[in-house]
Amino acid sequence: MRSIPAIVLAGGLGTRLRSVISDMPKPMAPVCEHPFLHFIFEYLQKQGVSQVILSVGYKWDMIRDYFGEKYMGISIRYAVEEEPLGTGGGIRQAMAMIDSDAFVLNGDTFFDVDFGELYDFFQLRKADIALALRRMHRFDRYGTVEVGNQDRVLQFHEKAYRNEGLINGGVYVLSKDIFRNVEEIEEHSLPQKFSFEKDILEKHLVSLHYHGHEFKGYFIDIGIPEDYNKAQEDFKA
- State how far the Cα of 41 lies from the Cα of 43, in Å rounded to an integer: 5
Whether residue 17 is predicted with pLDDT greater than 90 in this model: the reply is: no
List pLDDT tens digits, range 102-123. Answer: 999 999 999 999 999 999 999 9
Q: Give the start-to-end residue ranges of the domains of the chain.
A: 6-234
Length of the chain: 237
Mean pLDDT, rounded, of the chain: 93
Position 187, amino acid? E
Q: Please name the amino acid found at residue 197.
A: E
Q: Is 86 helix (H, G, I), strand (E, B) or coil?
A: helix
13: pLDDT strictly greater than 80: no
Asked whether 231 and 220 are in contact (CB, 8 A), the reply is yes
pTM: 0.95
- DSSP state, residue 208: S
Amino acid code (one letter) for 203: K
Question: Can you say how many angstroms the Cα of residue 63 is from the centroid of all Cα atoms in its chain?
Answer: 17
* Average pLDDT of span 77-88: 94
Kindly report, residue by residue over 32-72, the tens digit of the pLDDT.
999 999 999 999 999 999 999 999 998 899 999 999 999 99
User: pLDDT tens-digit profile of 178-197?
Assistant: 999 999 999 999 999 999 99
DSSP 8-state assignment for residue 213: E
CB 53 within 8 A of CB 77: yes
**CA 62 – CA 53 distance, rounded (Å):** 16
* pLDDT over 90, % of the chain: 84
Name the DSSP letter for residue 183.
H
> Is it true that domain 6-234 has CATH number 3.90.1150.10?
no
pLDDT for res 65: 97
